[in-house]
Every structure is written in structure tokens, then in C-alpha cells.
């Protein structure tokens, strides 16, 4: 693997982790003083993919732009790795 590819995979992994750390902060921001799962800007449960970024980056690096990709659980890192637009604003979490 060349350095350019290695760096791009690392960039995707860092972006995925950074995104999920940000949505986790938003998730917990207004659920205090006592944790209330139904409260706040992001109600309900949140399942993050910390540690799974390399799998998403590696798999999606081999997909074509028009290939479909799906995940049944914790999908944000896969969408980010595949370049799905809109993953940077968190709108899907508030719907």
C-alpha cells in the first residue's frame, strides 16, 4: 500500500471518530442533572462505532461511488467512509 492510500485511510478513520465524538457530546449535553434517555436534542439510544473505523475505511476504499452500502447497526462510520453527503451535520440523529 502506498503512502497516499495509507494517509487517506487514516484521514477517513480520524474523521469518523471525530464525528462520533462530537455527536456523543451533543447526545449527553442536555440529559443532566439525571440522565434521561428521552430528553434533549438527540432523544433515545445512541450506538457508536468507536474502534470500527478501520473496517469501514478499508471496505469503502474498494467501493465505487455508485455502489450501495448499508449497515444494520452503528452505521455513521460506514456512511462517512463511503462519502455519503450530509453526515457532517447530524440531522439524521434528530429525526
Tell me what pLDDT residue 70 has.
85
Tell me what pLDDT residue 91 has.
59
Model confidence band, residue 87 (pLDDT cutoffs 50, 70, 90): low
Nearest to 83 by CA among 36, 20, 23, 67: 67
Task: Give the number of domains in the chain.
Answer: 1
Domain extent, residue 87, equals 3-94
Tell me what pLDDT residue 34 has.
81
Tell me what pLDDT residue 56 has.
94
Q: What is the pLDDT of residues 26-81, one digit of tens each?
A: 888 888 778 888 888 888 888 888 899 999 999 999 999 899 988 877 788 999 99
Amino acid at each position: 500500500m502506498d503512502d497516499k492510500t495509507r494517509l487517506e485511510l487514516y484521514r477517513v478513520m480520524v474523521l469518523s471518530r471525530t464525528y462520533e465524538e462530537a455527536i456523543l457530546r451533543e447526545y449527553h449535553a442536555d440529559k443532566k442533572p439525571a440522565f434521561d434517555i428521552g430528553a434533549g436534542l438527540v432523544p433515545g439510544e445512541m450506538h457508536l462505532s468507536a474502534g470500527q473505523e478501520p473496517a469501514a475505511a478499508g471496505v469503502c476504499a474498494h467501493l465505487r461511488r455508485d455502489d450501495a452500502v448499508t449497515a444494520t447497526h452503528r452505521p455513521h462510520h460506514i456512511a462517512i467512509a463511503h462519502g455519503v453527503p450530509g453526515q457532517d451535520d447530524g440531522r439524521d440523529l434528530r429525526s
